[in-house]
Structure 1
């Protein structure tokens, strides 16, 4: 499918005075500020498309005795679902504010409490600091919202961390996981061989820079929580994998979905035709991105509804089973 018209114009506009300066040529703080400026939007407790969603920032106990920040989004009304959400940004960029709009939209659409995690970022805190924070936050969510259908979710680097959490925390029962354009091949061999390795807001060179910041020791990139295509994918919760057509990570996302199915995992793949990496944060400016994001959340909603129906049919009186 052709690249979305508005995205094509956006890319052309960004390149009008020459190719944009890549993150790897900026300081870390400059790169973070640019990412935040491009992604963050003013907070809205309510919009015309959904129920009111309130948020509260709080600190929880981190894995190393320090405080870990989370932002808890609560829709009105809130149902029996909760999401632990891990933001993207290549493990280096991104924060609670950059993904505020996406988390609010998710909370409203699913009727779920969403716990967004302010995990430690590289290069100040390389692997596995972010993963340890993510595991700690997921366990906190499970303790704080018992009995709810618990979803682990993330976009880009956050999707990689989500998979890592499932691998590292078998004690947490997840009803489902949502992986939006996940990076799962640190060798970048699949991305390098793809049709869209550069020119569409994310390049293979960008991903190499991110991996070098996140996992500076090349030997650690073989860890199952990093080299996720080679991890044991059996016994994963039912999963939605979303990809973007014009994304260097497209093919490895498709491969991940195929390997999960081969391992016996229930997988729904939502392709993002005509879209680029990062579309999940473009819902307010690119109608095609908003439409695809709604399809992604609808796929997750259907997956959770199917589990509710199965649990109900297996109950002696037809009651919904406790999760």
Structure 2
């Protein structure tokens, strides 16, 4: 279907004075500030059920002695679930604040305690540090919430880390996850599929921006073939039931769809929620793009169905 009209207007507005400056042409701090400005905005009339979610900041200790910031969201209606949430931002940008609203929505919608982890970011902390932090966050969440159905959720780079954490848990006897939700995950560091798609440029996320992100996260090309990085070629057997969400006008759409096929081939129950007319990043646009909100509701409903079907 055609690009959503609100997103079309947003993109046209961003291109009014020429194409936006690519990430590699600005400093890391400028990239982070630009991401924050786009993600954190006033939400007038925001009086949904997620406003009643209680929030407290916590610390997560890692294996190297570092304490990570985290934010724990507790809804009024508790369904006995807990989520480890890993934010997007190309492993470079994004933080607890940029994804605060989304975590509130998830907590209220799923009736789940949500632990949002502020993992260390590239380029100051390249691979594998962000992944190790994600693993530590998932273990901390599991230890703090015994008996709850534990769900891994991540968007974009956070989805990449979530899938890596699930692989680690499988291989090391780590936490047991009831399900995972991967929202427009990057899984192919070669960017072969993304480069060949019809929406490689001009739709908020470009292939060049993804290439820059990989360069920051995995500066040594020798590691881009590691199973925890090249997730499209990883052994996916034994992973928890998975929901994968994609966006039609996203360079990562094709590799997300291929990931679903690979999960099925590996015997993993997997569901795909497409995002017709949407772009990368729509999960953060639910308050301004009705089509994004509708797709987000479908995504959350699919995850809820997966969790309900797993209950004896």
**Which category of TM-score, normalised to the shorter sequence, fits these structures?**
over 0.9
Q: TM-score scaled by structure 2?
A: 0.97
Question: How many angstroms apart in 2 are the aligned matches of 1:305 and 1:121?
Answer: 34
Is the Cα contact below 8 Å between 2:243 and 2:272 reproduced in 1? yes
Q: Which residue of 2 aligns with 1:195?
A: 198
**1:262 corresponds to which of 260, 265, 269:** 265
* Structure 1 residue 267: Cα displacement: 0.6
Q: Which residue of 1 aligns with 2:216?
A: 213
Question: How many angstroms apart in 1 are the aligned matches of 2:117 and 2:63?
Answer: 13
**1:225 corresponds to which of 222, 225, 228:** 228
For 1:54-203, list aligned pairs within 5 A: 54-170=54-170, 171-203=174-206
Q: Which residue of 1 aligns with 2:290?
A: 287
Question: How many angstroms apart in 2 are the aligned matches of 1:252 and 1:100?
Answer: 27
Q: Which runs of 4+ in 1 moved over 6 A?
A: none
Q: Which residue of 2 aligns with 1:20?
A: 20
Question: How many angstroms apart in 2 are the aligned matches of 1:264 and 1:47?
Answer: 42
Question: How many angstroms apart in 2 are the aligned matches of 1:29 and 1:260?
Answer: 36
Is the Cα contact below 8 Å between 1:41 and 1:98 reproduced in 2? no
Unaligned runs of 5+ residues in structure 2 are none
SS in 2 for 1:18: coil
Deviations 1:233-278 (A, max 9, x none): 0011000000000000000000000010011010110000000000
Unaligned runs of 5+ residues in structure 1 are 312-323
The range that moved more, 179-188 or 50-59, is 50-59
Question: How many angstroms apart in 1 are the aligned matches of 2:245 and 2:276?
Answer: 11
For 1:43-54, list aligned pairs within 5 A: 47-50=47-50, 52-54=52-54
Question: How many angstroms apart in 2 are the aligned matches of 1:21 and 1:51?
Answer: 35
Is the Cα contact below 8 Å between 1:43 and 1:101 reproduced in 2? no
* Structure 1 residue 49: Cα displacement: 4.6
> RMSD value over aligned CA atoms?
1.2
SS in 1 for 2:274: strand
* Structure 1 residue 43: Cα displacement: 8.5
SS in 2 for 1:198: coil
Is the Cα contact below 8 Å between 2:60 and 2:136 reproduced in 1? no
Q: Does 1:298 align with 2:301?
A: yes
* Structure 1 residue 176: Cα displacement: 0.1
Q: TM-score scaled by structure 1?
A: 0.93
SS in 2 for 1:185: coil
Is the Cα contact below 8 Å between 1:184 and 1:227 reproduced in 2? yes
Is the Cα contact below 8 Å between 1:54 and 1:74 reproduced in 2? yes
Question: How many angstroms apart in 2 are the aligned matches of 1:7 and 1:287?
Answer: 10
Question: How many angstroms apart in 2 are the aligned matches of 1:47 and 1:224?
Answer: 43
